[in-house]
Amino acid sequence: MKTFFNLIQEVQKPGLCHHCGGCVTFCTAVNYGALELGEDGKPRYRDIEKCIECGLCYSICPEIHELDEETKRMVSWSAPMGRILGTSVARASDPEVLARGTDGGVVTALLLHLFDLGRIDGAIVSRPVGEFRRSPWLAINREEILEAAGFHFDTLHGMTHFSKLYSGVYDTFSPSIMELGEVAKKRLNRVAFVGTPCQINSLRRMEALGIVPAGSIKFHLGLFCAGNFHFGPEQRQNLEKMGNFTWDQVRKVNVKEELLIHLQNGEIRSLPLDKLEGIKRFACRYCDDYAAEFADLSFGGIGAPEGWTTVIARTPLGRAILADAKETDLQEFNLKDDPQLPPRALAKVLEWSDKKKAHAQARHQELEKSVQVKG
């Protein structure tokens, strides 16, 4: 049986660890306490003597393929981009939610809808804690859910945010899955999770095995993600020069086909995404899931007009809560104005998904060749 030691050899050393936190979360939740996240965001041994070598941390890693078939069967996954029950373009009905949202505020509107109906006791999100800083957070009331929708730097179609890790270096990835520890402490068992494709993947693997703490997550809300970034002050300054702006001028940032920087005066600066490749996290270059293929609902700005969100329903549960929210908290784009918008938006998501899969495959082939040469 392979254990965390093998994860270090097979995933961490080649640079493939996404820092999703699934292995640490599981180990902590069942009170083994053998693992922890280091200051650099990487899982590591906290107390190797407490490791019982159960091998579950190895199995639930999204870079390990032991549970691929079980996980795909559980969510009825199908090629080329996961199960798709419907595509919508929508935005929040509440003006406050819409104003705070990066695109159409749909994720926040859905969380508030579920909370108001009593279907969730809380939501795992990320919140702003300073300039270019986000941290994982378990929101347990309306005010906290709204606070998480505040000003943020929203990168590459997702809601992953800047978290200062060490020495002035910033990372757009927020290890939200670690908040499952707070879920256990508060003894909550009806929680919505908002996260990246790798985090959703890890949670689904836990669910496939029927292990703690997956049972507490009732709704999996996935975010389109072309990658996350790791950079310091020098790279921030380079972005300012590229876009001819300063960060104190920025109102919000989001992504369509380009990185869009919205300034306080209403102007928008556009930066080509290929210009950001140099600061993309190493592991993200090997990830092939753009559209959160294992979620109940997947979200992003790609394919939608400004101020709207593209939403893909993937499970009957996701489709049901989306339909219910459209009655009160969501406004669907008027298809009389553009009847082909949803299929066109889906085609755009598929295009980006195909790009990410092809890129990841090429990177893996390069990595395998380099390993063979070294061997």
- pLDDT reported for residue 7: 94
319 located within any domain = yes
| 326 or 233, which is more confident | 326
Residue-averaged pLDDT of the chain: 86
Indicate the DSSP class of residue 280. B
Name residues whose C-beta falls within 8 Å of residue 187's C-beta, 6 or more positions apart in sequence.
none
* CB atoms inside a 10 Å sphere around CB 247: 14
- DSSP three-state, residue 267: coil
**pLDDT tens profile 264-292:** 898 988 888 778 777 778 888 899 999 99
Helices (H), 197-250: 197-209, 233-243
24 located within any domain = no
**Site of tokens 């920087």:** 261
- pLDDT reported for residue 97: 94
Minimum mean pLDDT range among 38-42, 153-157, 314-318, 358-362:
153-157
- pLDDT reported for residue 64: 94
The answer to whether the bond into 43 is cis (omega within 30° of 0) is: no
Q: Which domain holds residue 347?
A: 68-374
- pLDDT reported for residue 133: 57
45 located within any domain = no
4 located within any domain = no
56 located within any domain = no
163 located within any domain = yes
Reported as type and span, the H/E element at residue 170 is strand 169-171
Q: What percent of the chain has pLDDT over 90?
A: 56
314 located within any domain = yes
| 139 or 253, which is more confident | 139
Strands 330-332 and 259-263: unpaired
Domain count, the chain: 1
277 located within any domain = yes
- pLDDT reported for residue 101: 80
Exposed / middle / buried, residue 266 (Cβ in 10 Å: 0-12, 13-18, 19+): exposed
